[in-house]
Amino acid sequence: MGKELDQQYRRLTSRFPNHEQRPVVGIAGNSDATNYLLNRDYYDSLLEAGVVPVILPPTTSHATMLSYLDLIDGLLLSGGSDINPVWLDEDPIPQLHSINPLRDGFELLLTRMAYDRQIPMLGICRGIQVMAASLGGSVSQDIYAENAGRTLLKHSQDAPRPTATHLVKAEEGSLVAQLLGETFAVNSFHHQAVRECGPHLRVSAVAPDGIIEAVESTEYKSMLGIQWHPESFVHEIQNPMAPLFMWLADEARSFQAAKRIHQSIQTLDSHCDTPMLFADGYNPAVRQERACVDLHKMTEGHLDASVWAVYLPQKELTDDGRASAVAYADKQIAAVKKTVAYAKGMQLATTPKDLPRIKRMGDKAIFMGIENGYAIGTDLSHIARYKKEGIVYITLCHNGDNDLCDSAMRSANTHGGLSELGRKAVAEMNRCGVMVDLSHAAESTFYDALRLSSVPVVCSHSSCRAICDHPRNLTDEQLKALAEKGGVAQITFYSGFVRKEGVATILDIVEHIMHAISVCGIDHVGIGSDFDGDGGVVGLANASEMINLTRLLLREGLSVADLRKLWGGNFLRVMDQIQKAAHPAD
């Protein structure tokens, strides 16, 4: 090694740590028969933004493609050749220019998979079109042919590339407006454009002639597509497009941080109704739109564990009804065990110590709960039996009063809270080490159980009534009382419990979480989505999007220690306390 290189080497190795690990952004680009082609301006723009750019050569190997996605923290889709309309089930028109079949198939699939994984994306020129095409939108093969009779701007200019040639108008409040302003000038080198955004994207900027110039996510994801070439301005003294690359760098940094946190903590969702899907042939190894929770989505959202609730609707309080409820609960418990046993990548968990072991093995942990004490009937011996089957909690009721207690919904105030049988059930659950779950319970039931239970209780899927005035939600007084007893409230995503009017979103979930923390403290709040039981809001529609919640909570100022508690630590602490306090031999 020469003298100069040796000096650099010694400087690099004279301190530790000697660098700050930067997020990695993959770049997809053109290729021909012998070369991979990428304008260096893309690479330089990312370097200036403070990330590590890596080139992702197109490939037909799905294993390689998925490994790319495991490695990167952000994705830049660059400009280049036309998209072959055959990929979109269209025939080509004469105005179509050169296409690249290898690149098309690779990028369309890569983008769809990156979307599932919540990877931040910036699409440039062809890239915006790939984003739309891969997510249910469509692309104009030639804007002039499709707009015959209309006067369009000259979008394919002969000017030098870092020369702005027309203005763009951004939607007020849009991401691109925040970055560049509501009106700004761009360069223009294209003849294809986004025709329709599809359900996952919305138009956020247009040219004076109405051609779509920018799109962004409708689901609070880190996705931005633009039709011009901002990388061409990288060497300008005053680079007007630098904010776009800084945005991608910041989003990639946030995504990288969230992934690292999820790797270092245990993440648990305390209530999912996934067993309700079993009758339709549910398979956790298959990613299906109708399922909010499966192995793919748990992996994409970096979720380690889920409590699958055996749900029973409240029916008649007759001997036949109770017998049917017990039989159905037994059937569903057996079905959960069979499903988990046959699924590669899942294991059944029954105690808090199971989760770290299962996570180290690279698998997902599935706990079991029963939703509705109707499954007990009037025979309290079922509680001990359910405990032996692996049940970790029993929700005392669902919608409607049962033999144990009054419900928050459809209640006739049958018992004025807990019935005498319900009081005995709480004591028996304490004895057996089964958590008492008070979601769905009337306030009278809630306070009765809180007073009677010798150990903390939980609300596996309830939100805050101060924000959304619904009887299923917890008042501030209930939150405080729950915390004083050492219990935990698991914030749920069911839209009706999240927002009274308008469309519920991930921002509302953050508001409920932060409110609960402010009322009862970080040690008494968790997450219970109610996925597959109608739980899910825009931006938190399924388990794949859980990582985005962590990113928003980090922006709210929560620490890693806070997130460890919120993402299951509090719930598992209560579970451990209850199981250790059990005295089943009595």
Tell me, yes or no, whether 356 and 462 share the same domain.
Answer: yes
- Are 322 and 374 within 8 A, CB to CB? yes
Distance, CA of 420 to CA of 64 (rounded, Å): 61
**Which is it for strands 458-459 and 488-491: parallel, antiparallel or unpaired?**
parallel
Listed in order, strand segments (DSSP E) in 354-512 are 364-371, 391-395, 435-437, 458-459, 488-491
Distance of CA 521 to the CA centre of its chain: 24
Please tell me the predicted confidence (pLDDT) of residue 586: 64
Rg (CA), the chain: 27
Distance of CA 160 to the CA centre of its chain: 42
| Of the residues 228, 257, 286, the one at which a domain ends | 257
Q: Is residue 9 part of a domain?
A: no
- Are 118 and 220 within 8 A, CB to CB? no
Count how many Cα atoms sit within 13 Å of the Cα of residue 257 in the half-sphere of its side chain. Answer: 19
Distance, CA of 291 to CA of 303 (rounded, Å): 15
Q: Is residue 230 part of a domain?
A: yes
Tell me, yes or no, whether 247 and 322 share the same domain.
Answer: no
Distance, CA of 396 to CA of 513 (rounded, Å): 24
- Short-list 299, 295, 124, 359, CA closest to 226: 124
Cβ-based neighbour number of residue 515 at 10 Å: 18
Tell me, yes or no, whether 375 and 495 share the same domain.
Answer: yes
Q: Is residue 189 part of a domain?
A: yes
Tell me, yes or no, whether 378 and 320 share the same domain.
Answer: yes
Tell me, yes or no, whether 182 and 325 share the same domain.
Answer: no
| Of the residues 230, 257, 284, the one at which a domain ends | 257
Distance, CA of 294 to CA of 171 (rounded, Å): 37
Q: Is residue 10 part of a domain?
A: no
Which 3 state secondary structure label does DSSP give 470?
coil
At 296-333, the pLDDT tens digits run 999 999 999 999 999 999 999 999 999 999 999 999 99
Show the domain range for 230. 37-257
**Which is it for strands 30-31 and 36-37: parallel, antiparallel or unpaired?**
antiparallel
Distance, CA of 293 to CA of 412 (rounded, Å): 35
Q: What is the CATH number of the domain that holds 238?
A: 3.40.50.880
Which 3 state secondary structure label does DSSP give 585?
coil
The secondary structure of residue 214, as a DSSP letter, is: E
Q: What is the CATH number of the domain that holds 359?
A: 3.20.20.140
Structure tokens at 253: 């940094």
At 196-216, the pLDDT tens digits run 999 999 999 999 999 999 999
**Which residues share a beta bridge with 494?**
535
- Are 322 and 285 within 8 A, CB to CB? no
Please tell me the predicted confidence (pLDDT) of residue 68: 97
Residues 6+ apart with CB under 8 A from 493: 509, 529, 530, 531, 535, 536, 537, 540
Q: Is residue 17 part of a domain?
A: no
**Which is it for strands 458-459 and 24-28: parallel, antiparallel or unpaired?**
unpaired
- Separate counts of helices (H) and strands (E) for the chain: 20, 22
Distance, CA of 115 to CA of 117 (rounded, Å): 5
Tell me, yes or no, whether 331 and 227 share the same domain.
Answer: no
Looking at the 3D structure of the chain, how many domains does it have?
A: 2
> At 301, which amino acid appears?
G
Tell me, yes or no, whether 307 and 243 share the same domain.
Answer: no
pTM: 0.95
Tell me, yes or no, whether 365 and 424 share the same domain.
Answer: yes
* Residue labelled with tokens 């009779």: 149
| Of the residues 202, 227, 257, the one at which a domain ends | 257
- Are 316 and 278 within 8 A, CB to CB? no
- Short-list 306, 363, 370, 273, CA closest to 527: 306
Tell me, yes or no, whether 416 and 277 share the same domain.
Answer: yes
> At 164, which amino acid appears?
A
Ranges of the chain whose pLDDT falls below 70: 33, 586
Task: Find the distance separating the first CA and the last CA of the chain, reported in whole Å.
Answer: 76
Distance, CA of 306 to CA of 291 (rounded, Å): 14
Tell me, yes or no, whether 221 and 194 share the same domain.
Answer: yes
Q: Is residue 24 part of a domain?
A: no
Tell me, yes or no, whether 253 and 308 share the same domain.
Answer: no
Tell me, yes or no, whether 281 and 149 share the same domain.
Answer: no
